Amino acid sequence: MSTESDDNGLLRSVLPPERVDQLFDLCGAHGWKLILASAVVGALPPLFGLREGYMMTVISEMFLFAILALSWDIVGGQTGYPSFGNMAFFGIGAYTGAILLKDFAVSFPLAVVSAGVFATVFAAIIGLIVLRLRGHYFAIATLGVLLAAQQISRNLEITGGASGKILFDVPPGVVFYYFFLGVLVAEIIVVYYLSSTRFGFILNAIRDDEGKATAMGFNTTYYKTAAWMLAALFTGLAGGAYGLFNTFIDPQTAYNGAWNVELIAMALMGGTGTVAGPVIGAFGLHTVIEYVETAFVGWQLVMLGLAVIVTVIGFPKGVVGTLREYANEMDYYERGGMAATDAAADGSGGSDVAASTTDAADSDADTEVTRDE
């Protein structure tokens, strides 16, 4: 399954697998420091004069997409329920924020918080319905939720119908920069923390084999719905601020179908089921899309479609997953076949952090790769 060719001598001499493995261990050991350092670096640019303009918007959007991709991954990557309708939460958040700001003259912070709460409540209700489905049925049902929400927003009075809502009194760009950064850091902290808790392990267990997870006595519906609501909370918060950030929302932008694919592609390219993957994927893919958008106007979605196809066929494990596989490739010889299978399973789905492969090899945890069922 390795996508790296085996006679890749140059790569091997520059970056041997052991070194990558050490790097993973290092990141695992110092995860909190790494997050703190990244947050500080992210907070720096405005302090050094970057306060407005194109770059400011682009970086803010990167944070925004990282939030969306990481939220998708909580349910899609960690829990194994790939949703095709996450933008529904975003749209609900965006409309809640816009309506409160414009029609009820609520303050910005309160509007954003309400947007998050609304999206979470919406997720709870919808989750109870669609999370009962699996596989194809779940994916299509979530897509149906997104499109139904879009159509309903288009037809209601309160949402401004097809023409949408224009928002005034927009705060300076720095506010959004720090808002999106703040939400992103908060989300990374939450996801990273959960990945080493019982809650996170149960989510992964549901992904690997929901039947077994149920048999072990876990109320999987409870955990799935909780993860789903958590994803909706962060997506809704981002959506709540987006209306004002964009100064305008309509059904097409609030429930943006292209974004829906974009955020899935980001999580996939970075590596699903990891903390760093979706964030890396969001930064990388958004940079590329932004470039294509300016250099070849109108072709960015063609590029997105092709990028999705190439990623799925070429390296479905994403950057982090592929690197982990590369780092663990000697496991087969050092620890025997089962350990290698285990490590590969870990790489494709396991948590990016702290999930040391030695533990997995030593313990007699179930070694079946059940994700492909």
Partner 1 sequence: MAIAQFVVNGLLVGALFAAVAVGFALIWGVVDIINLAHGEMVMLGGYTAYWLLSIATGTAEGSVLLFLATLPVVVVVLFVVGYALQRALVSRVIGTDIFLTLLVTFGISIAIQQLAIQAWTANPRSIQVAFADPSLIVAGLVVPKMKLVAFFGAIILTAILYLFLQRTRTGRAIRAVSQNPEAAALVGIDVEHTRAVTFGISSAVAGGAGAFIATILNIEPQMGLIYTLKSFVIVVFGGVGSIPGALTGGLLLGTVEELTAGLVSSRWTLAVSFTLLIVLLVVKPQGLFGTEAEE
* Shortest CB 322 distance to partner 1, Å: 15
- Mind giving me the DSSP string for 197-241? SHHHHHHHHHHH-HHHHHHTT--HHHHHHHHHHHHHHHHHHHHHH
Longest Cα–Cα distance of the chain, Å, equals 66
What string marks each residue from 67 to 106 as x (binds partner 1 by CB under 8 A) or -?
---------x-----x-x----------------------
Using rule CB under 8 A, residue 145 touches partner 1: yes
- State yes or no: residue 148 binds partner 1 (CB under 8 A): yes
The answer to whether 84 and 72 have CB atoms below 8 angstroms apart is no
Residue 341 CB, shortest distance to partner 1, in Å, is: 16
- Token pair of 59 as six digits: 């970086």
Query: Considering beta carbons, is residue 9 or 298 the nearer one to partner 1?
Result: 298
Amino acid in position 46: P
140 near partner 1, judged by CB under 8 A: yes
Residue closer to partner 1, measured from CB, 27 or 148: 148
Q: Which of 12, 33, 51, 134 binds partner 1 (CB under 8 A)?
A: 134
Containing 41, the helix (H) or strand (E) segment is helix 31-47
The answer to whether 309 contacts partner 1 (rule: CB under 8 A) is yes
Q: Is 166 in the site for partner 1 (CB under 8 A)?
A: no
Neighbouring CB atoms inside 10 A of 304's CB total: 19
Q: Please state, in angstroms and rounded to a whole number, the distance separating the CA atoms of residues 236 and 93.
A: 4
Tell me which stretch binds partner 1 (CB under 8 A): 89-97, 104-112, 135-143, 185-193. 135-143
CA distance 308 to 265: 6
295 phi and psi, to 5 degrees? -80, -40
Residue environment code for 228-251, b if the CB has 16+ CB neighbours within 10 A, otherwise e:
bbbbbbbbbbbbbbbbbbbeebbb
Which of 311, 328 has the CB closer to partner 1? Answer: 311
Instruction: Based on the shown chain and the rule CB under 8 A, indicate whether residue 219 belongs to the binding site for partner 1.
Output: no
Instruction: Show the tokens assigned to 323.
Output: 């690197």
CA distance 121 to 143: 19
DSSP structure string for 151-198: HHHHH-TTTTGGG-EE--SPPPHHHHHHHHHHHHHHHHHHHHHHHTSH
From candidates 35, 147, 189, 190, binder to partner 1 by CB under 8 A: 147
Q: Which residues lie below 8 Å from residue 132, measured CB to CB, with a gap of 6+?
A: 221
Based on CB atoms, which residue is closest to partner 1, 34 or 139?
Answer: 139
Q: Does 264 bind partner 1 (CB under 8 A)?
A: yes
Q: How far apart are the first and last CA of the chain?
A: 17
φ/ψ of 361, rounded to 5, equals -75, -40
Query: How many Å apart are CA 82 and CA 309, to the nearest integer?
Result: 17
308 binds partner 1 (CB under 8 A): yes
Which one among 32, 104, 137, 222 touches partner 1, defined by CB under 8 A? 137
Q: Which tokens hold the place of 55?
A: 């770059």
Q: Does 302 bind partner 1 (CB under 8 A)?
A: yes
User: Is the Cβ of residue 105 or residue 297 nearer to partner 1 in the bound state?
Assistant: 297
Q: Which is nearer to partner 1, 100 or 131 (by Cβ)? A: 131
Tell me if 141 contacts partner 1 by CB under 8 A: yes
Q: Does 135 contact partner 1 by CB under 8 A?
A: yes
**By CB under 8 A, is residue 319 in contact with partner 1?**
no
> What's the residue count for the chain?
373
State in angstroms the smallest separation of the CB of 41 from partner 1: 32
Q: Kindly state whether residue 124 participates in binding partner 1, applying the rule CB under 8 A.
A: no
Taking the complex as a whole, the smallest distance from the CB of residue 292 to partner 1 amounts, in Å, to 12
Which residue from 152, 158, 166, 365 is in contact with partner 1, where contact means CB under 8 A?
Answer: 152
82 or 97: whose CB is closer to partner 1? 82
Q: Which residues bind partner 1 (CB under 8 A)?
A: 76, 82, 84, 129-130, 132-137, 139-141, 143-145, 147-148, 151-152, 154-155, 257-258, 261, 264-265, 268, 298-299, 301-302, 304-309, 312-313, 316, 371-372
